[in-house]
Structure 1
Amino acid sequence: MTAIARRTLGVEEEFHLVDLRTRRLTARAPELLAELSDNYVAELQRCVIELNSGVVDTLDGLRADLQRHRRVLVDTAAGLGMGVVAAGSVPLSVPAEMQVTQTARYRRMLADYQLLAREQLICGTQVHVGVADRDESVAVANRVAPYVPTLLALSASSPFWADGSDTGYASGRTLVWQRWPTTGLAAPVSSAAEYDELVSDLVHSGAIADGGMVYFDVRPAVATPTVELRVCDSCPSVDTIVLIAGLFRALVERELTGLRSGTPAVTVSAPLGRAALWRAARSGLEGDLVDVAGPRGRPAAEVVTELVDLLRPQLEAAGDWAVVSELTQRVLLAGTSAARQRRALRRRGRLSDVVDQLIDETAGTVPDTAAATVADPRLLFGYHADRPTGHDEAVDADGRPRPAYDDILGTIAALGVPALRAREGDVEQDQRAENITFRVSGQSRAQVFPLDLVPRLIAADEWATLTEGLGQRARALNEFLRDVYSDQAIIADGVIGVHALDRAPGFRSGGRMSTAPVRAHVCGTDLVCDRAGNWQVLEDNLRVPSGIAYAIANRRLLDRHLSELGRPADLGSVDEVPALLLETLRAAAPAHCADEPAVAVLSGGWEDSAWFEHTFLASEMGIPLVQTTDLSFRDGNLVRHIGSGVRRVDVLYARLDEDMLLSSTGYDDVVLREDLLAAVAGGRLTIANALGNGIADDKAIYAHVPAMIEYYLGEKPKLAQVPTWICAERAQRDYVLEHLAELVVKPIDGFGGAGVVIGPDASASELQQRRRELETQPERFIAQETIALSTHPTFDGEGMYPHHVDLRAFVHLRSENGGPVTAHVMPAGLTRVAAHGSRIVNSSSGGGSKDTWILTGGTSNTTKQEGGHRVRNLR
C-alpha cells in the first residue's frame, strides 16, 4: 500500500488519586493541580485528574509524550503523599470523603443526576484521531463502531467497585458509564448537521445540560476536527494505550477509505452492538468476544488477532505494523489489567495490594515478564529461571517434566496462556456464583478460594504408604484424647509430663463428658514433602478440621473447565466423600438410638470463614444445617426447631469453636452449656468432634505423637514428623534462641499461619521481637526445623511458576456398636498452594489450592484400619 500522511493522534487520560498511607481515594485534586501545568485539568470528582497529551503523528511519539507527562504527575503527587492510578476504578474508598469539583457545571450535574454523579468514581482513556472535518468525523464514527467493543476489551481494568466488591466484570466501569442517558456505540446520524440537531434535541429535552454530556463511545470531538474514542477504561500500561491508539487510527483510515470508495460498512443493530459491549466488559480478553461479522462468540485472542490482521495495510502504511503486532502479542500474553488485579488479590488477600500494583504499573516500575523463556515449552515460561532449591514434584532437576506429568503439562501448555487465563476466569466466575469462598479473620468481605489449573498427582504406592501412617496416627491421637480425659495413664507412666497439660490451652473440663470410643471422628492431617521428596506430618487438626468441601468442589470445577485433561483410570472418586462422612457421623450416634440417627451440621453462620463448607456438606449429605439459635432441649434431649415443631438431634457435627458453642444461647434464649454437657455425659447426644479435642491440636503435644503411637498401639510410627523443640523446657528454649534465624517458631495454639516466624525469611526486627517473647513467655511457643516444602507447577496468569504446596488429608474414625476403632482414609485431599515466593500455604496468607489426583491403583477408594494394638482399658 502506498505510504500515506499519518493522521494526528492525541490522548486524554483520567487518573485516580489515592492516599499513599491508606490506599483510599483522596479528594485532593485541587491541591495537586496547583502544582501542575495546563496539561492537567479537573474532573467531576475531586479524586480524579485528567491529562491532555500533546498532538503527535507517531506511536513512538505518543508513548514518549504519555510517559513524560505521567512522570511529572506521579512525582508531583508523591511529593504530596498521593499515589496515581490509571485504571477504570479503584477498590478502596470512603463515600463520605468523596467530593464533587466545585464548578457551576459540576454542581448542576450533581443536583440533576444524584447517584450517577456521586458514583462517578471511574476513569477512562480517550483517543483522538485527526480528520478533515466534522462531517467526516460523524460518518467514520458509525463505520468504526462495530469494532469498538474489541478495543474496550484490551483496556479492561475495573474488576472491583469502590467498596472493594468484585463486580464479576473485567470493566465494571462500563456498567457505571452506561447509566448516563446519552451513551451508546455512536450517534445514529450521517452528517454533522444531523448530529448537531440530535444534540440540540437532547438538550431541549432536559436529559442533558449541554453538548459536552453526549457520551457516545465514538463521537466527533467538541472543539477539534477529530473523531474521539471514549469507550476505554484508563490503562495502567502506556503500551496498552499505544496499541489501542494505533488500532483506532488504522480503523479510522480504513473506514474513511471505504467511505470514499463507496464500500459498504459493517453494520450492527443497536441490541447486538450493546451485547458486544457487554461481552467485552464482562470478560475482557479472558473470555469470548462477539465477532459482529458472524455474529457469534469467539475467543478474544482470535477476535483481536483478526482485527490486527484486517488492519495490516493501514498499519504498514503508517509505519505502525511492527509496533502494533508486537504489542498485540504482549497484551494477549499478559492479559488485561483486570485479570492481574484479581491475581494480586488472590496472592495476598488484601485490596491494598491491588492498589499498590496499580500504582507501580501506572508509574511504569513493574518488570516485564513476557520476555522470559524456559527450556521446555510444556512449562510455558518463567519456570526454570525462577525455580527455588528443593524438591519439585512435577519437574526434575534438569527442568523437564517428570514422566507422570508429561501428558498433564503438555495438554495445559497446548491450550496457551490466553486460553488458560480464560479458563481461570471462568473458574472464578463459577466460584463466585456458587459461593465457593472463605472469609479471612478480621475481614468483612468473603473472597474466592483460588484454584490452580494444574492438578497434583499422588501415586498409588505413595498413597498406600500415607494411608497406613495416617490411620495409625489418627487412632493413637484418639486414644490419647480418651486417656487424657480419664485415667491419664500416659502421664502416670511418665511418657508425657504433667506440665504439658497445665500449659495446653486446648485442655478443657468439658472434654471429660464424653466416654465414647471415638472422640476424633474427623481428623485433618497436614503433610509436606521435604527436600528429599519424603513425606512428613506437619500438623494435626482434631477440633474442626476444614477443607474437604473445597477438595470436592475443586474436582468438579476442573472437570467442568479443563475437560481436556481427562481422568486417570485409577483416580479416586471425591463424590463419595459426603456419603462416607454421613456414615461416620451416624456411626457416632449414642447407643440409645433405635432407629436411624438424626444428624445435623452446626455452623456459626454466614460470617464463619468456612460457611461455604458448612452449607455444601449439609446439602450433599441431605441433613439439616443449624445454628445455635435453632436448638434447645426437651426432656434432656437436643432438638432443632422447624416452624412450630421440633426434631430430635442425636449427632451434632459441630463446625464452630467450642467456647462459642458453650456460651451461646439457644432457641429459647437459655444458655446451652449446662444442658449440652449433661446430654453428652448422659449418652443422649454425640458432638463430633468431641469437646476438648483442642489439646491434640496443641503444637507442643505434637512433639509427643511418636511416643503416643508406641505407647497406645505398640507400633513404630509409619510417618515421620518435623523435629520439634518445646520452648517451655529451658534447655530446648536455649537451643531455639541460639538458632532462631534457622528455625520456624510457632504459637502452640496458633492456626491459619498466624504468629508464625520463619527464621530464614524473617527480618531482624521480627527475630528480635520473637526473641523477647521467647525470653519472657517461652511456654507459648514451639520451634521446628525449617522444611523446604516441595514445589509444584502453578499457572500464575502469565506462565508456569513453582509454588510451595502441602496436603491436608482426612481420616474418619468409627466404632461399630462399641467395637474396635477403625480408621478410614478419604480418597480426597486438599492441596494448599502458597503465594509466589512464600512458604505459608494458609488461605489467610494468600494461599490457594489445587485439585488433588489421588491414584488408588485400582483398589478401594477408602482404606480401613483397625485393631492390632494394646490400648489400655480406659473408662
Structure 2
Amino acid sequence: MPRTLGVEEEFHLVDLKTRRLTARAPELLDELSDTYVAELQRCVIEMNSGVVDSLDALRADLRGHREVLVDAASRLGIGVVAAGAVPLAVPAEMQVTQTARYRQMLADYQLLAREQLICGTQVHVGIEDRDESVVVANRVAPYLPTLLALSASSPFWADGSDTGYSSGRTLVWQRWPTTGLAAPVSSAAEYDKLVSELVASGVITDEGMVYFDARPAIATPTLELRICDSCPSVDTIVLIAGLFRALVEREVDGLRAGVPAFEVSPPLGRAALWRAARSGLEGELVDVDGPVSRPAADVVSDLVGSLRPQLEAAGDWDAISDLTRRVLIAGTSAARQRRALRRRGRLTDVVDQLIAETAGNWPSASAAVTQNPTLLFGYQPDGDYDNSDEFAAVSYDEAVDPQGNPRSAYERILGSVVQLGVSVLRSREGEIEQEQRADGIMFRVSGQSRAQVFPLDLVPRIVSAEEWSQLTVGLGQRARALNAFLRDIYSEQAIVKDGIIGLHALDRAPGFRSTGQVSRDPVRAHISGTDVVCDRAGNWMVLEDNLRIPSGTAYAVVNRRLLSKHLPELDRPADTCDVSQVAQSLLDTLRAAAPARAPEEVTVALLSAGWDDSAWFEHRFLAEEMGIALVQSSDLSVREGRLLRHMGSGTHAIDVLYARMDEDMVLSSTGYDGAPLREGLLGAVAGGTLTIANSLGNGVADDKAIYAYVPAMIEYYLGETPSLAQVPTFICAEREQRDHVLDNLAALVTKPIDGLGGGGVVIGPEATMELLDARRRELQAQPERYIAQEVIALSTHPTFDGEGMYPHHVDLRAFVHLRAGSGDSISAHVMPAALTRVAAAGSRIVNSSSGGGSKDTWIRTGST
C-alpha cells in the first residue's frame, strides 16, 4: 500500500482590477469551509487537502479545492494566485491577520513579518514512527534542492523588480531563524529537545515556527516537505509529491536495511539550495553526488531514474516520468512569468497569467506537448493594435502557428534547439558574443561613447523560395524606379512637370541637394537597402528605402559564419543561398560604376569616418573581403582632376569611392594636404574621373515623405504595377492629410521625414498622453517635418532570451545592386544575404540603434 499524501497550499489574493495584493482574506474566508484557513498576512489564504494515497486522487483533490476557492473569490472581485510571490503590491495596504499569535510575530520579527508576502507549498508523506521521520528528514535532505527547482515561481518581488532568481521567495524565507536543512538529530527525543531549546531561547514562540526544509509534522504522523514555492500548475505539485513520497520510501527502506545515508555537508547543502533558487530549471543545479554543476534537466532526470523502483512499486512510474518530461519542456513558472513580462513589458500581464494558470485556464505541465518539443511551451504570438486604441489583433508569427506548434519549415530547427537545451544554448550564445568582441563585430549606438556587441539570436529566420522570388521582383523594381527618380529630379524634373510630384515636395525634402546635379551617370543608387516587413496576414510590404549609406551587408554575412560555427546542429538546408560571394558581388557592382575616363583596371576604395563610426566593423570587413583600400578623408587629395590616396609608399589614383560617410561630412572634410576636399571631389565627379557610390544627393530618396510617391514612380518611370505593397502614408504638410492625422493621432505612427534609426518615432497606441500632446503641438507648428503611417503589425519570430523562446518583432533589410548595361538598360541584382533585424524585448522598433539585434537569414531557392 503506497504511503499517504497530503498537501497544504498557500494562495495570494489580488484585486482583479488593479492586480495588486489585497488584504481581504477574512472576507473571503467567511464564504469558505474550514478547509481554508488564515495565514500571517491577510492577503494570503491556506488550503489543506484531504489525505489520499494516489497521485490521481491528489490531483483531483487539489483541482477541486482550487475551483471552490477561485469561484468564491471571483464573486468578490478577487483573483487567486498560486506562486511564491506576486509582483504588484503596495506595502501600506498590507495587514497582518489579527490573532494574538500573528500580532506577536509582527512585534517580534518586524521586517520579516511585514515582508512575508510569499507563499509556499507543503507536501506531507505518511510515516507512523516519529524516530524514523526525524532520521529520514536528514536522509532526504541532499535531494530537496531539486524539488525546489521544479517549483520555482517567484522571479519578481512585490515592488515589481526582477530578483534575478527563479525563487526569490527562498531568499525571503531563509531570513527566518529556524529555516534551512533538517534538524541535525537522530531520534524524536533529540528533535523534541532541540525544539524545546529553541522555544526556551526566546527566538521562536512555539514549535509551529520550526521551518526546516523537511520536518516531522506537528499534528499528523507525516514527514513534511517545506522547501517549495507555491505552484500555479497542479501537475507540478503532483510531480513533486510523487517524487518526495518515493524519496521517503527509499530512505525508510535504507534506514531499516542499515544502508548508510548519503551525507552532504551543511555548506554544500546550502550552496545547492541557493543554486536551485537562482537557476530553477533554466540553468544548472548542484549534483551533490559529485559535487559538480550540471544542467538542471540532467539532475532532475537522474533523480527520477534513481527512484524508479519506488515509483514502480507505488504505481507512479508512468505518471511521474511523463510529468517530468512535460515539466522539463515547460520550464519553471518563473521563466514563464518573465516571458509574459517581456511580451509587452506589463506586470499586469504576469499577474493575469498567474491567475489563469492557477485556475487551470492556462497550458499546464500536463497539457499536450508535441513529440518534438521546441521550447515553445507558453509561447504566444505578440498582440498588436488595430486602428482604434485597442490591443486586439495578434501579430503573424513566422515560425509558430496560433496553436503554439512549429510551422513545417521550422520543425527541424526548433527540434534541434530543444535537443541542445537551455544551458547549452546559453553557453553557445556566450561563445558567439566572445568571438564578436574578439573580432570587433560591434555596433556603436548613437549617443553612446563605446561600441557594443550587435546581438545575434540563435534561431535563424527562413525566407521561402516563393517569398524570395516575390521579393526579388519587387525589390528590383523599386530600386530601378527610385534610381530613375533620382536621375530625373537632378536633371529634367519631368515627374514634377507632369504633376506626379509637386515641386514643394522636393523643396521640403532635406536630402534634396544641389550637389546631386554633379553626377550624370545612369546609375545613382548603386547599393540600396530596402526594409521590408511581414504583416499580420503574412504578406510582405516595404517599410522604408535607404539610398544614401545603407548598412548591414557585413552583419548578414558574418551572422552566417558565426551560427554555422557555433550551432552546427541546426542542419541548414542544402538549397539555402550561399553568402560567401556577396563581397565579390559588391566589388563587381562598384567596378561596374567606374566613370567614363577610368582606366581598364578600376581602382576602388571604401571611405570611412574611422573607428568611431557606428558601422566601423562593417567598413573594415567589407574592405578586407573585397581586397580594396579602406581610407579616411585625411588619406585623400585631388590633384589635376584625379582623386588620390596617399600611402607611405606613394600615391594611388581612385576611380570609385564607396562612401560610407554622410554627404555633409565628406564634403566638409579636409584632405591629406590640409586643403578642403569639396571642390576637388565635385570636380572629379563632374569631369568623369571619379564615381562616388552612392551618388551625392541621394538622401532625397530616403525622405519619408517621398516614400509615399514610390508606387506612382514605378508606374511613371517603368510603366509597371508595383509588385510590393507599402505602408499607407499621410503627408502632414498637406492640410487635409494633416487634419486626418491630428484626428487619429493615437492610432497612427508619426515620424520625422529625416529621422534615422527610429529617432523621433511616436507609436500612437503605445504613447503616453504627454507624448501625444507634444507631437500634436509639433504637427501644428511644423507639419512639413512629419509624416504619419498606419500601425503595421510586424511579424514576430522565436528569439532565445536566455531561458526560452519569446516572440520578438522582426524586419528584413534586403540589398539591391544596380549596374548599367548596354544603352540605357539597368539591371538589378538582389543579394542572397539579407539582414533580419530583431527588436528589443517589448519594442516594435527594430533598428540596431534602438537596442535591437539580428538573426541569420536562410533564403531558400527551392532547388533541392
Under a length normalisation based on structure 2, what TM-score does the superposition of the two structures give? 0.63
Listed as ranges, the matches of 1:392-471 within 5 Å are: 409-410=411-412, 412-413=414-415, 415=416, 417=418, 419-422=420-423, 451=457, 453-456=459-462
Are 1:527 and 2:532 matched, yes or no?
yes
**1:267 and 1:575, CA in 2 relative to 1: closer, same or farther beyond 3 A?**
farther
Contact preservation (8 Å) 2:139, 2:261: yes
Measured against aligned partners, the alpha-carbon deviations of 1:439-483 in whole angstroms (never above 9, x if no partner) come to 9xxxxxxxx999563543577x98799689758856865896899
Displacement after TM superposition at 1:372 (Å): 4.8
2:213 corresponding residue in structure 1: 217
Paired residue type of 1:167: T
Instruction: Output the CA distance in 2 between the equivalents of 1:100 and 1:549.
Output: 61
Displacement after TM superposition at 1:553 (Å): 10
Paired residue type of 1:527: V
Are 1:161 and 2:157 matched, yes or no?
yes
2:62 to 60, 66, 71: 66
Instruction: Out of 158-167 and 257-266, give the one that drifted further.
Output: 158-167
2:105 corresponding residue in structure 1: 106
Displacement after TM superposition at 1:187 (Å): 2.2
Instruction: Output the CA distance in 2 between the equivalents of 1:718 and 1:90.
Output: 56
1:301 corresponding residue in structure 2: 297
Report % sequence identity. Answer: 63
1:279 corresponding residue in structure 2: 275
Contact preservation (8 Å) 1:285, 1:422: no
Displacement after TM superposition at 1:83 (Å): 1.0
Displacement after TM superposition at 1:19 (Å): 1.9
Which secondary structure does the structure 2 equivalent of 1:720 belong to?
coil
Paired residue type of 2:7: G
Contact preservation (8 Å) 2:326, 2:366: yes
**1:808 and 1:26, CA in 2 relative to 1: closer, same or farther beyond 3 A?**
farther
Are 1:363 and 2:359 matched, yes or no?
yes
Which secondary structure does the structure 1 equivalent of 2:184 belong to?
coil
Instruction: Output the CA distance in 2 between the equivalents of 1:96 and 1:253.
Output: 46
Listed as ranges, the matches of 1:796-875 within 5 Å are: 806-809=811-814, 829-831=834-836, 850-853=855-858
Contact preservation (8 Å) 1:543, 1:697: no
1:16 to 12, 33, 39: 12
Displacement after TM superposition at 1:129 (Å): 1.6
Displacement after TM superposition at 1:850 (Å): 4.3
**1:409 and 1:710, CA in 2 relative to 1: closer, same or farther beyond 3 A?**
same
Contact preservation (8 Å) 1:333, 1:798: no
Listed as ranges, the matches of 1:2-401 within 5 Å are: 3=1, 6-11=3-8, 13-102=9-98, 103-111=102-110, 114=111, 116-202=112-198, 208=204, 210-367=206-363, 372=368
Displacement after TM superposition at 1:234 (Å): 0.8
Displacement after TM superposition at 1:231 (Å): 1.2
Paired residue type of 1:170: S
Instruction: Output the CA distance in 1 between the equivalents of 2:406 and 2:175.
Output: 51
Paired residue type of 1:705: V
Instruction: Out of 134-143 and 539-548, give the one that drifted further.
Output: 539-548
Paired residue type of 1:92: L
Which secondary structure does the structure 1 equivalent of 2:172 belong to?
helix
Which secondary structure does the structure 2 equivalent of 1:159 belong to?
coil
Listed as ranges, the matches of 1:647-726 within 5 Å are: 696=702, 698=704, 701-708=706-713, 720-722=723-725
**1:618 and 1:392, CA in 2 relative to 1: closer, same or farther beyond 3 A?**
closer
**1:725 and 1:538, CA in 2 relative to 1: closer, same or farther beyond 3 A?**
closer
Instruction: Output the CA distance in 2 between the equivalents of 1:499 and 1:264.
Output: 91
Instruction: Output the CA distance in 2 between the equivalents of 1:182 and 1:560.
Output: 51
Instruction: Out of 714-723 and 19-28, give the one that drifted further.
Output: 714-723
Are 1:537 and 2:542 matched, yes or no?
yes
Displacement after TM superposition at 1:73 (Å): 1.8
Instruction: Output the CA distance in 2 between the equivalents of 1:427 and 1:715.
Output: 48
Paired residue type of 2:6: L
Displacement after TM superposition at 1:362 (Å): 0.2
Contact preservation (8 Å) 2:800, 2:806: yes
Instruction: Output the CA distance in 2 between the equivalents of 1:437 and 1:361.
Output: 41
Measured against aligned partners, the alpha-carbon deviations of 1:36-87 in whole angstroms (never above 9, x if no partner) come to 3333333333332222223333323322222222122212221222211111
Unaligned 5+ runs, structure 2: 382-392, 446-453, 591-605, 623-658, 663-675, 682-693, 741-746, 767-782, 820-825
Measured against aligned partners, the alpha-carbon deviations of 1:563-587 in whole angstroms (never above 9, x if no partner) come to 422678987779999xx9xxx9xxx
2:652 corresponding residue in structure 1: none
Displacement after TM superposition at 1:88 (Å): 1.6
Measured against aligned partners, the alpha-carbon deviations of 1:149-204 in whole angstroms (never above 9, x if no partner) come to 22112212223333334334332322333344433232222223333444455556
**1:393 and 1:501, CA in 2 relative to 1: closer, same or farther beyond 3 A?**
same
Paired residue type of 2:147: L
Which secondary structure does the structure 2 equivalent of 1:329 belong to?
helix
Instruction: Output the CA distance in 2 between the equivalents of 1:296 and 1:285.
Output: 16
Instruction: Output the CA distance in 2 between the equivalents of 1:541 and 1:22.
Output: 45
Unaligned 5+ runs, structure 1: 440-447, 585-594, 604-613, 622-650, 655-678, 738-743, 758-776, 815-820, 858-875
Instruction: Output the CA distance in 2 between the equivalents of 1:175 and 1:560.
Output: 40
Contact preservation (8 Å) 1:392, 1:792: yes
Instruction: Output the CA distance in 1 between the equivalents of 2:763 and 2:724.
Output: 21
Instruction: Output the CA distance in 2 between the equivalents of 1:497 and 1:559.
Output: 50
Displacement after TM superposition at 1:139 (Å): 0.5
Contact preservation (8 Å) 1:146, 1:268: yes
Instruction: Out of 565-574 and 282-291, give the one that drifted further.
Output: 565-574
**1:8 and 1:493, CA in 2 relative to 1: closer, same or farther beyond 3 A?**
closer
Paired residue type of 2:43: C
Contact preservation (8 Å) 1:219, 1:229: yes
Displacement after TM superposition at 1:14 (Å): 1.5
Displacement after TM superposition at 1:341 (Å): 2.3
Instruction: Output the CA distance in 2 between the equivalents of 1:29 and 1:689.
Output: 72
Displacement after TM superposition at 1:299 (Å): 3.7
Contact preservation (8 Å) 2:323, 2:365: no
Report the count of equivalent residues.
Answer: 717
Displacement after TM superposition at 1:121 (Å): 2.8
Paired residue type of 2:4: R
Paired residue type of 2:542: V
Instruction: Output the CA distance in 1 between the equivalents of 2:120 and 2:331.
Output: 18
Contact preservation (8 Å) 1:809, 1:830: yes
Instruction: Output the CA distance in 2 between the equivalents of 1:653 and 1:95.
Output: 54
Of structures 1 and 2, the larger Rg is shown by 2
**1:104 and 1:618, CA in 2 relative to 1: closer, same or farther beyond 3 A?**
farther
Which secondary structure does the structure 1 equivalent of 2:140 belong to?
helix
Instruction: Output the CA distance in 2 between the equivalents of 1:76 and 1:275.
Output: 41
RMSD: 6.5
2:388 corresponding residue in structure 1: none
Listed as ranges, the matches of 1:481-500 within 5 Å are: 490-497=495-502
Contact preservation (8 Å) 1:346, 1:846: no
Which secondary structure does the structure 1 equivalent of 2:21 belong to?
coil
Instruction: Output the CA distance in 2 between the equivalents of 1:522 and 1:96.
Output: 61
Displacement after TM superposition at 1:558 (Å): 5.3
**1:200 and 1:379, CA in 2 relative to 1: closer, same or farther beyond 3 A?**
closer
Contact preservation (8 Å) 1:286, 1:425: no
